[in-house]
Structure 1
Amino acid sequence: MLALCAALACAACAPGAAPRGAQAAKAYVSSESGGIAVIDLDRLDITSTLDTGGKGPRGIAISTDGRYLLAANKGTGDLTVIDTRDGQLARRIPIGKNPEFVRVSGGQAFVTYEPGEPGKAGDDAPVPAQIAVIDLKDWRVTRAIPSGLETEGIEFSPDARLLLVTNEGDDTVSVYERASGRRLNLIKTPPGSRPRGIKVSPDGQRYIVTLESASAFLVLDAADYHILRTVPTRSGPYGAAFDRAGKRLFVAASRADTIQVFDAGSYENIANIATGKRCWHFSFTPDDARLLIACGRSNAVYVVDARTYQPLREVAGVALSWGIVTYPKSPGTLDAP
């Protein structure tokens, strides 16, 4: 009996284990054609599609406690909030033109949007993007942080004090003080490289920045942001994520229809996983056993074994899939445990 109790306690504490009484682990996948597909991770089947009330959901995030799902709707310029307990639309929050990325940290959500992307602001100067900051207690936009051109990825420092974003339109990475929104640093990447994804290493020592047009990623020192390495990839790298242990780095080389796996110490390319078309974002499952890959031009989520890299399943029926997160939370391009 004692041995059985110990085994049960150990299982409850395993990586990604859901709290007692919680529902089965799920993945949420945004579809630019409309809606959020819900995948049961035990069955690897779509169990429902959630209505966002808006058009063109892309960026997606889930609250720390798993109660609320957030999605940025490109076509209607707002943020959808869905109660995951019943799948019902809780509210829609106006953001601005072309909202794209969403990240949740603590009691706040951060949403990138581009108020002047197709237009100009005096003297033909491009209008920079902004980052809306939303209080998750009263669901109010508390401020907007001016950013660079075409702001893409969002990441936080391990202590959550800093906010880092990639700006593909002006080839920079901006570093902000999260509490005040004050810009502390601006890191320039090679001209025309178009930085897109950004991910902090689990040990907090490095940031990875993917350069879509340079087919490479940068390794930045987290202390002073100097470039430690430039590592070549296959064509069009976008989303990046470390495994939970920080031993491997996964990069979506989207134009090459490949997820590349690198040793996170040496940056040696140790495996290449064939995928579908336009696979920008991916997530581990909560037990770290599988990789879930959203492939927009294949209208599917590809499932592969995260250790052997062998294909396991293709979950079809997610038209123009864009982002993917899980609950319990997992390492991925759009979230972290």
Structure 2
Amino acid sequence: MLETRNPTRRPRRSIALAAALALAASAAHAAAPLAYVTSEKAGVGVIDLDQMTLAKTFPVGADGPRGLSLNADGTRLLVANKNTGDLAVIDTASGEVVQRVKIGKNPEYVRVHNGYAYVTYEPGEDGGPPGAKAGGKPDGKPGADGDDANKPPAEIAIVDMKTWRVIRSVTSGHETEGIEFSRDGQTMLVTNEGDDTVSVYHARTGAPIRTVKLAAGGRPRGIRLSPDGKHYVVTLESLSKFVVIDAHTFQVLNTIDTKLGPYGVAFGPDGQRLFVAAARDKTVQVFDGHTYEHVADVPVGQRCWHFSFTPDGAKLMVACGRSDAVYVLDAKSYQPIKQIGELPLAWGIVTYPHSDGSIESH
């Protein structure tokens, strides 16, 4: 008798091979590098960095998302929402908000460090989140702006990322903006736009160490530690300058002119260049990372505050709020590559795998 075969039946080996290939493809897709961009009107945009396209958007409600930061393994994205006064914790696999942590009025900047999230906010008359106060404002007085001086000082909520509870709130200066940490991770520095100061604290306890007074009317915003850990660079938005501060003595060593309205600042992945977003001049400026001499001016969009390099360091991605887009540049030649739109009022940008930028530094 002749043996007959079912032509529609696939050998087990072929089925197993197909399943393995599908699994590998799925894993490769899951491991694709991504950028997360807060859009104050749309939520959080997710950019596929292999394709350089907007892959999807995580809705967080009409929350006005601004600052954002990722946990160490990239599974949780933390987003500050100004309209609801909370920190949304997003599962990056599903895009779902899995936790909300009450912070206070106008939470803005988020920085993850050693298992804790540091979130700046303005407590106002209603006070901030539950939790013990840590110390007080370091020595120093408000700047020359009388309106700022009459406002309650800003605070930094410290959130334990294991329990998602605010464990303490640190009183800072007026209109606290950027957050940076020392090379050993023991010291936290924050810029206070309304006070023209940089406040220095013990990172874990929030105990004040000192206040660094900067030029009156400068409105310090961005801050970044140099790769060798010797200097901090702080942008002065209203004076169109940045200052270089000694990381040990906290003395101002140098003052460098920029174009209008510098905000976001970061060193390139190899530390050879310093990048500054001149938000009111539609420019990203490039400086030598050691001498701080001016190297290049790169045209971008309107109101570009924050930026990030791609994980491979090959591209620079600039979030431009008034252009509703992310501008993608070649990180070596500074030539434009493309614009990724549909991101109304884009604010901040971070990537996974982690990379250097004006919000996160690795």
Q: Give 1:23 deviation, angstroms.
A: 1.4
Give the equivalent residue in structure 1 for 2:321.
296
Give the equivalent residue in structure 1 for 2:263.
238
Which deviations, in whole Å up to 9, do the C-alpha atoms of 1:231-254 show, x marking residues without a partner? 000000000000122110000001
8 Å contact from structure 2 (residues 68, 80) kept in 1: yes
Alpha-carbon distance in structure 2 between the residues aligned to 1:129 and 1:54 = 23
Give the equivalent residue in structure 2 for 1:166.
191
Alpha-carbon distance in structure 2 between the residues aligned to 1:32 and 1:258 = 22
Give the equivalent residue in structure 2 for 1:63.
71
Give the equivalent residue in structure 2 for 1:268.
293
1:39 to 44, 47, 52: 47
Which deviations, in whole Å up to 9, do the C-alpha atoms of 1:52-71 show, x marking residues without a partner? 24510000101111110010
Give the equivalent residue in structure 2 for 1:133.
158
1:186 to 186, 189, 211: 211
1:93 to 96, 101, 104: 101
RMSD: 1.7
Which deviations, in whole Å up to 9, do the C-alpha atoms of 1:218-274 show, x marking residues without a partner? 000001110110000000000000012211000000100000000011111111110
Alpha-carbon distance in structure 1 between the residues aligned to 2:200 and 2:318 = 28
Alpha-carbon distance in structure 2 between the residues aligned to 1:118 and 1:200 = 34
Q: 3-state SS of the aligned residue for 1:302? A: strand
Q: Quick one: which amino acid aligns to residue 84 of structure 1?
A: T
Give the equivalent residue in structure 2 for 1:14.
none
8 Å contact from structure 1 (residues 53, 89) kept in 2: no
Alpha-carbon distance in structure 1 between the residues aligned to 2:29 and 2:344 = 32
Aligned positions of 1:15-30 closer than 5 A: 23-30=31-38
Q: Quick one: which amino acid aligns to residue 183 of structure 1?
A: P
* TM-score, scaled to structure 1: 0.91
Q: Give 1:117 deviation, angstroms.
A: 8.8
8 Å contact from structure 2 (residues 77, 92) kept in 1: yes
Aligned positions of 1:86-125 closer than 5 A: 86-116=94-124, 125=150
Q: Quick one: which amino acid aligns to residue 287 of structure 1?
A: D
Which consecutive unaligned segments of at least 5 residues does structure 1 have?
A: 1-18
Give the equivalent residue in structure 2 for 1:6.
none
Q: Quick one: which amino acid aligns to residue 229 of structure 2?
A: G
Q: Give 1:22 deviation, angstroms.
A: 5.4
Cα 1:118–1:141, aligned 2, differ >3 Å: closer, same or farther? closer
Larger % of helix: which?
2
**Identical-residue share of aligned pairs (%):** 55
1:48 pairs with 2:56 = yes
8 Å contact from structure 2 (residues 42, 57) kept in 1: no
Cα 1:21–1:41, aligned 2, differ >3 Å: closer, same or farther? closer
Which deviations, in whole Å up to 9, do the C-alpha atoms of 1:199-233 show, x marking residues without a partner? 00111010000000010000000011101100000
Which consecutive unaligned segments of at least 5 residues does structure 2 have?
A: 1-26, 128-148
- State how many pairs are aligned: 315
Alpha-carbon distance in structure 1 between the residues aligned to 2:72 and 2:233 = 24
Q: Give 1:158 deviation, angstroms.
A: 1.0
Q: Quick one: which amino acid aligns to residue 235 of structure 2?
A: T
Q: Give 1:336 deviation, angstroms.
A: 1.3
Which deviations, in whole Å up to 9, do the C-alpha atoms of 1:153-175 show, x marking residues without a partner? 00011111011000000100000
8 Å contact from structure 2 (residues 224, 265) kept in 1: yes
